[in-house]
Amino acid sequence: MSADGDCFQTATWNPTDYYLQVYPCCFLLTAALEDTSQTALLTFHNQLTEEVHVFYTSDYCYKCLYQHLGTVKPRDKNASAKVNTQFTLTMQVHLQTGNATFFCRWSQTYEEGGHYSVWVQKPLGFTHPVCKFSVDKSPNNAYLPLMVAALLLAIITLLFVMVPYIFRRHCTSEFIKTVCCQDPQPSLDNDGAPAGEATDTGRAKPSRLLSLDTFRGFSLTVMVFVNYGGGGYWFFQHAPWNGLTVADLVMPWFVFIIGTSVVLAFNSMRRRGVSRQQLLRKITWRTAVLMMLGFCFLNYSPRDGPLSCSWLRIPGVLQRLGFTYFALSILQTFWGQTEIPLRAHHWWNPVQDVVLYWPQWLIIIVLEALWLCITFLLPVPDCPTGYLGAGGIGDDGLYPNCTGGAAGYLDRWIFGDNMYRYPTCRTLYLTVMPFDPEGILGTINSIVMGFLGMQAGKIIIFYKRNHAHIICRFLAWAIVLGISAAILSKCTRDGGFIPVNKNLWSLSYVTCMGCFSFLLLGGMYFVIDVKGWWAGQPFIYPGMNSIVVYVGHSLLGFYFPFSWEMRFQASHWESLLQHLWATALWVLIAYLLYRKKCFLKI
């Protein structure tokens, strides 16, 4: 049995036999999902004279039906099962009687590599059977590889960043002077040549906004690592449905960065006299290239077998990023403020970065209203209106074919089979319906997320001579968005008005990630561009060649030297080493391209 449905999800403890027919018994982990580093062995010893049946559910699975784990024969027989160690499991043991009432129930998070025993017996003097527990083999320290890796990375950072930085300071007074003095004003153009590169006029181009490149590179580095597998740790993989993991953070960061870059780049191009027609040609070309890259190059691998248009996926990550970029660019092209007005006294001066862009805000409000109306008002056959659950065995098994509610229904109606067929909820919730996390409704909120990034760019432009004001406004936006996310989700994973859900790109997910984005970009802006305490290495290198790194790791990531066949899968050591090694190789490739001044732009 596995907490996320890898195995022994055989039959539902339910009056109906629906799931018993759909999910036949299996006593081995599925080869495609087997990861011995995330399992423990659980053995049941039956000392009774009747058969007992064991059922389980994962506490991460919202209102899920109990699943049949196995049957243990009577009279000192035993049966073993591999259980997943990602989430807490609730077990129930039932006697083989007509009413099948349980007499043992417990919740426990099993640890990796551990061997556990459950003794089902009726001691002398007891009227009912009891369950006793023992640990036959102590579990492994699953987090030791991660702690060692973190320590090594910290040492490398100290050697290659901090030591040279301190060595260059000849005395304490000079060091204090460097920290306290104001650094040169950063440029607001992140769409041109790299920092320090000479322009056609022979003069050195002003420095780029390095914090934005660093933020992009940091997001990309984390994305590469989690795409490789994140060392086999569950929190480096996407959440099954509601909730957040590290893997759920990176794509909205990218979308936020797109919005900020659009404002800064368009502001720079307008200063250079680029016409609206030229902007539209550039927007159209970049959008087409991004969407074709996503559809043609990242949609298919020879490992998938013969190419068939009947199952070729239409939505995708780059397709969503391309369309989001197009929508944001159109907003900035037609409704962007061309000139900042004189600083005369107006009541709206404190919020001029909002008021002056009221047409854009009106469009975004209409888009969000459209998302809310479709999500909560669109009738979905055989599903409750406004349903946001995963379906399958969740919600007491009442809506097995309602995965994603209106979002899933709309995508299946438009794309048919040409969409993602292995959503993250499939293994835990045992869903049978396809669901695409890059679907149509989620793209609406992706545009809203990018618009929050545009707001960050407007703040940087409007208050470019007042760093304290920029940081304070970033913090204010983070607080407002964070409070909004807390209210919408009720500070719970599953019980809010609108749960935080990456698959749906829910409104609470957008506000939550907007909060994180403002905080992270604001912190990097202060440390890198204002104080100059850090130059952004090594993240700035992949940040300035993001297309090469993303497309490269998607196409070549599973070939040597980026990966190899692992021999030691019983722990995280080799998988974590492989995934860190592959990520480091792409950072190194980006660094070499940076040194050669080779930057792939679309």
Half-sphere exposure of 575 (CA within 13 A, CB side): 22
Instruction: Read off the pLDDT band of 276 (50, 70, 90).
Output: confident
Structure tokens at 257: 């960065």
- Look at residue 16 and tell me whether its pLDDT is greater than 90: no
Distance (Å, whole) CA 169 – CA 114? 52
Instruction: Read off the pLDDT band of 36 (50, 70, 90).
Output: low
- Look at residue 387 and tell me whether its pLDDT is greater than 50: yes
Q: What is the DSSP string of 379-432?
A: --TTS-TT--S--TT-GGGT-TT-TTHHHHHHHHHHHTTSS-S--TTHHHH---
Mean pLDDT of 435-454: 94
The backbone torsions φ and ψ at residue 204, rounded to the nearest 5 degrees and listed phi first, read: -70, 130
Distance (Å, whole) CA 487 – CA 472? 23
- Look at residue 181 and tell me whether its pLDDT is greater than 80: no
pLDDT for the residue 373? 96
| Helix 144-157 vs helix 573-595: crossing angle, to nearest 10 | 30
Distance (Å, whole) CA 89 – CA 107? 5
Q: Is 276 exposed, middle or buried (0-12, 13-18, 19+ CB in 10 A)?
A: exposed
pLDDT for the residue 28? 28
Structure tokens at 507: 């409104």
Mean pLDDT of 418-436: 87
Instruction: Read off the pLDDT band of 347 (50, 70, 90).
Output: low
Distance (Å, whole) CA 37 – CA 84? 9
Distance (Å, whole) CA 252 – CA 321? 10
pTM: 0.85
pLDDT for the residue 451? 96
Ramachandran quadrant class, 139 (left: phi over 0; alpha: psi -120 to 50; beta: rest): beta
Distance (Å, whole) CA 368 – CA 511? 12
Instruction: Read off the pLDDT band of 219 (50, 70, 90).
Output: very high
Q: Tell me the fold of 18-142.
A: Immunoglobulin-like (2.60.40)
Instruction: Read off the pLDDT band of 100 (50, 70, 90).
Output: low
Q: Please name every residue paired with 130 in a beta bridge, in sequence order, or none if there are none.
A: 121
Q: Please name every residue paired with 81 in a beta bridge, in sequence order, or none if there are none.
A: 42
Distance (Å, whole) CA 554 – CA 544? 18
Element (H, E) at 335: helix 317-335
- Look at residue 452 and tell me whether its pLDDT is greater than 90: yes
Q: What would you measure as the largest C-alpha separation in the chain, in angstroms?
A: 96
* Separation in Å, CA 214 to CA 42, 253, 521, 576: 46, 12, 9, 24
- Look at residue 76 and tell me whether its pLDDT is greater than 70: yes
Return the exposure string of 425-461: e unless at least 16 CB atoms fall within 10 Å of the residue's CB, then b.
Answer: bbbbbbbebbbbbbbbbbbbbbbbbbbbbbbbbbbbb
Instruction: Read off the pLDDT band of 31 (50, 70, 90).
Output: very low
**Residue type, position 176, single letter:** I
pLDDT for the residue 301? 57
For 204, the 3-state DSSP assignment is strand
Tokens 């703040």 locate to: 459
Q: Radius of gyration over alpha carbons of the chain, in Å?
A: 27
Are residues 247 and 237 in contact, defined by beta-carbon separation less than 8 angstroms? Answer: yes
Distance (Å, whole) CA 563 – CA 552? 13
Catalytic annotation present for 238 = yes
Nearest to 113 by CA among 35, 46, 173: 35
pLDDT for the residue 349? 67
For 117, the 3-state DSSP assignment is strand
- Look at residue 203 and tell me whether its pLDDT is greater than 50: no
Instruction: Read off the pLDDT band of 337 (50, 70, 90).
Output: low
- Look at residue 21 and tell me whether its pLDDT is greater than 60: no
Q: Where are the domains of the chain?
A: 18-142, 182-595
Q: Give the distance from CA 409 to its chain's centroid.
A: 23
User: Any idea how long the chain is?
Assistant: 602
Q: What is the DSSP string of 58-100?
A: ETTSTTPPPEEEEEE-TTTEEEEEEEE-SS-EEEEEEESSSS-
- Look at residue 101 and tell me whether its pLDDT is greater than 80: no
| Mean pLDDT score across all residues of the chain | 81
Distance (Å, whole) CA 485 – CA 496? 10
- Look at residue 340 and tell me whether its pLDDT is greater than 70: no
Secondary structure (H, E, C), 512-574: HHHHHHHHHHHHHHHHHHHCCCCCCCCCHHHHCCHHHHHHHHHHHCCCCCCCCCCCCCCCCHH
Of the ranges 123-127, 362-366, 373-377, 554-558, which one carries the lowest mean pLDDT score?
123-127
Instruction: Read off the pLDDT band of 304 (50, 70, 90).
Output: low
* Separation in Å, CA 159 to CA 54, 153, 156, 293: 54, 10, 5, 39
Mean pLDDT of 439-451: 95
Residue 561, preceding peptide bond in cis (omega within 30° of 0) = yes
Of the ranges 291-305, 407-421, 482-496, which one carries the lowest mean pLDDT score?
291-305
Residue 252, preceding peptide bond in cis (omega within 30° of 0) = no
pLDDT for the residue 180? 46
Q: What is the pLDDT of residues 524-562, one digit of tens each?
A: 999 998 888 888 888 999 998 888 898 888 888 777 888
Of the ranges 43-47, 163-167, 445-449, which one carries the lowest mean pLDDT score?
163-167
Q: What is the pLDDT of residues 241-254, one digit of tens each?
A: 999 999 999 999 99
Q: What is the pLDDT of residues 123-132, one digit of tens each?
A: 777 777 888 8
Q: 31-45, 117-131, 174-188, 191-205: which has the highest mean pLDDT?
A: 117-131
Catalytic residue among 45, 94, 238, 467: 238
Distance (Å, whole) CA 56 – CA 130? 17
